[in-house]
Amino acid sequence: VSVSTERPFKRYGHYIGGEWRRAATEETFESVNPATGEAWYQAAQGGDADVDRAVRAARAAFEGVWSEHTPLQRGKLLRNLGDLIAEVGDDLAIVETRDNGKLIREMRGQMRSLPEWFYYFSGAADKIHGETIPTPTREILNYTLREPVGVVGAITPWNSPLLLTALKLAPALAAGNTIVIKPSEHASASILELMPLVERAGFPPGVVNAITGDGRTGHALAAHPGVDKVAFTGGTETGRRVGVAAMEHLAPITLELGGKSPQLVFSDADLDAATFGIIAGVFAAAGQTCVAGSRALVQHSVYEEVIDRVAERTERIRIGDPLEDDTELGPLAFKEHRERVAAHVAVAESEGGRLVLGGKQPPGLDQGWFYEPTIFADLSPRMSLFRNEVFGPVLGVLPFKDEDEAVEIANDTRYGLAAGIWTQNLPRAHRVAAKLRAGTVWINTYRTLAPSSPFGGFGDSGIGKENGLEVLREYTRLKSVWVNTSSAPPGDPFVLR
Ligand code: NAD
């Protein structure tokens, strides 16, 4: 197997029913490498006709060839796909770094763990089942069947294209669904490069389809009445629109949305570890991660010390070409995104945040969309930087006096995706974890993820869960079957049994 990482400039089509197809309108768009500002491939701009064709292909496969596969057979194909991804993971990492500018070291790491998602759900495929349920009537047998929902429409963002797709693809296929994937227009290449691997793994045509395009394509997919389930990862406002479109035809939804995640540093914390965790939380991936720990809440007595420590390490962050192994901060994913990040910083300055570091484009890196890691101290909960997701390398720090106040400030947000706690006091760690309103809480660690552990936000951070056996509920529906086991003659037809 191979993955295309090099020039020449490639022209991708949609992948529908096992074939590459141009857009019905012949429309295309180009994707730009954010480290160089140069277009490096062209993809098809999907319209209603392309979405319809892909959904029909997925429906035909669902009702036909895919329904003939046993759960064990589905599991084997998922294992094959995991093996193939493991073979070409380093090449897929290069494709993603070219597409979204994230560090090659991070994308390589993600690609190494990516097969685990396919292995985990490969093993789960034949462990999806209903139950036998006791009823008040002895002769009546009642059991449930857990069935696939049908055609899944998956819409994903640009920040970790393959990983965030795998979170949907692996469980959806394990449960017996077919899927149409719509990756982000800013980073579609790795999803398209995955399609030949899907084919090689042995998935029949139509089981996995990929259509490219911008928000219009995503909307057409979410709104398509032939889509039985919509799984979305992206921004909160887009998620709301996707949810409304899916509700028009009553398709269930999973929404993995944005966050404004707090990191709570207590005075009894290991400050080396906490400093490491704050930097890992907000400057890794240039802050372009949904779980960015973008609010650091620090207890008064260690407040200035933590700011100094974080600033000292941040100043030494190596900014540059994300394809270089020793680079620690690459560019932002696209030009408009950098403009958005700069606008957030300007508002923070105008609202009186104390700029400790950064707040501008780094000198000497004029070609790509780079932005310096930025720290604001003395944030107040009224400020925009406290409330709104930046999705860039911008940290806001603010002090708290005690545990109650820390929890109150942490929970003062419409989001609820993740939170970090730094303390060496064990009872406090668990006490605070229970009080935080967040779908994921990390204690003395940050940004860990596994296929076996449920992930998903509260409030404006989303609906439903990904990962873990829990996610299989999202990709199945439950049927209740009643059986009369009595051979006695039927009783009174006018009485409910
Ligand atoms: P986005 O919402 O702009 O786009 C996400 C996807 O939705 C893209 O494929 C886009 O083309 C599509 N889209 C846009 N408008 C649409 C519409 N009206 N209908 C249907 N689809 C539409 O998000 P983004 O900028 O690509 O990603 C960044 C956001 O994603 C951040 O807010 C981040 O927090 C969030 N995110 C969340 C998670 C999570 O698991 N919770 C993970 C990663 C990113």
190: CA distance to ligand 1 center in Å? 17
pTM attached to this predicted model: 0.96
Task: Encode the chain (497 residues) as per-residue pLDDT tens digits.
Answer: 667 666 678 999 999 999 999 999 999 999 999 888 889 999 999 999 999 999 999 999 999 999 999 999 999 999 999 999 999 999 999 999 999 999 999 999 999 999 999 999 999 999 999 999 999 999 999 999 999 999 999 999 999 999 999 999 999 999 999 999 999 999 999 999 999 999 999 999 999 999 999 999 999 999 999 999 999 999 999 999 999 999 999 999 999 999 999 999 999 999 999 999 999 999 999 999 999 999 999 999 999 999 999 999 999 999 999 999 999 999 998 899 999 999 999 999 999 999 999 999 999 888 889 999 999 999 999 999 999 999 999 999 999 999 999 999 999 999 999 999 999 999 999 999 999 999 999 999 999 999 999 999 999 999 999 999 999 999 999 999 999 999 998 888 898 87
pLDDT given at position 472: 98
Interior CA angle at 60 toward 57 and 62, to 5°? 105
233: CA distance to ligand 1 center in Å? 5
Q: Which residues line ligand 1 (CB under 6 A)?
A: 155-159, 164, 182, 184-185, 214-215, 218-219, 222, 233-235, 238, 241-242, 256-259, 290, 389, 391, 417, 457, 462
pLDDT given at position 330: 93
pLDDT given at position 491: 85
Please give the number of the atom of ligand 1 that sits closest to the Cα of 158. 26
**Residue of 160, 163, 244, 290 to test ligand 1 pocket, by largest number of atoms within 8 Å of CB:** 290
CA dist., res. 88 & res. 158, Å (int) = 20
pLDDT given at position 332: 93
240: CA distance to ligand 1 center in Å? 11
Place of tokens 């802050």: 287
pLDDT given at position 452: 98
Say which amino acid occupies 239.
Answer: G
Catalytic residue among 106, 256, 372, 466: 256
Cβ partners under 8 Å of residue 213, min gap 6: 23, 29, 43, 44, 45, 46, 47, 50, 182, 185
**Residue 290 bears catalytic tag:** yes
Residue 289 DSSP label: S
Residue nearest atom 14 of ligand 1, based on CA coordinates: 215
Please give the number of the atom of ligand 1 that sits closest to the Cα of 167. 40
97: CA distance to ligand 1 center in Å? 18
CA dist., res. 206 & res. 173, Å (int) = 12
CA dist., res. 456 & res. 419, Å (int) = 12
Please give the number of the atom of ligand 1 that sits closest to the Cα of 186. 26
Place of tokens 């074939």: 19
**Residue of 51, 100, 155 to test ligand 1 pocket, by largest number of atoms within 8 Å of CB:** 155
pLDDT given at position 5: 65
328: CA distance to ligand 1 center in Å? 25
pLDDT given at position 490: 86
Catalytic residue among 96, 290, 372, 389: 290
Cβ partners under 8 Å of residue 235, min gap 6: 157, 257, 258, 389
Cβ partners under 8 Å of residue 62, min gap 6: 148, 150, 151, 177, 178
Residue nearest atom 35 of ligand 1, based on CA coordinates: 234
CA dist., res. 244 & res. 251, Å (int) = 10
321: CA distance to ligand 1 center in Å? 25
pLDDT given at position 397: 98
Cβ partners under 8 Å of residue 244, min gap 6: none
CA dist., res. 280 & res. 259, Å (int) = 16
pLDDT given at position 136: 93
The alpha helices in 390-461, defined as continuous H runs, are 403-410, 426-435
**398 forms bridges with which residues in the sheet?**
297
Phi-psi region of 166 (alpha: psi -120 to 50; beta: other; left: phi over 0): alpha
- Judging by DSSP bridges, how do beta strands 418-422 and 394-400 pair with one another? unpaired
pLDDT given at position 7: 60
Neighbours of 349 (CB within 10 A): 14
Please give the number of the atom of ligand 1 that sits closest to the Cα of 337. 25
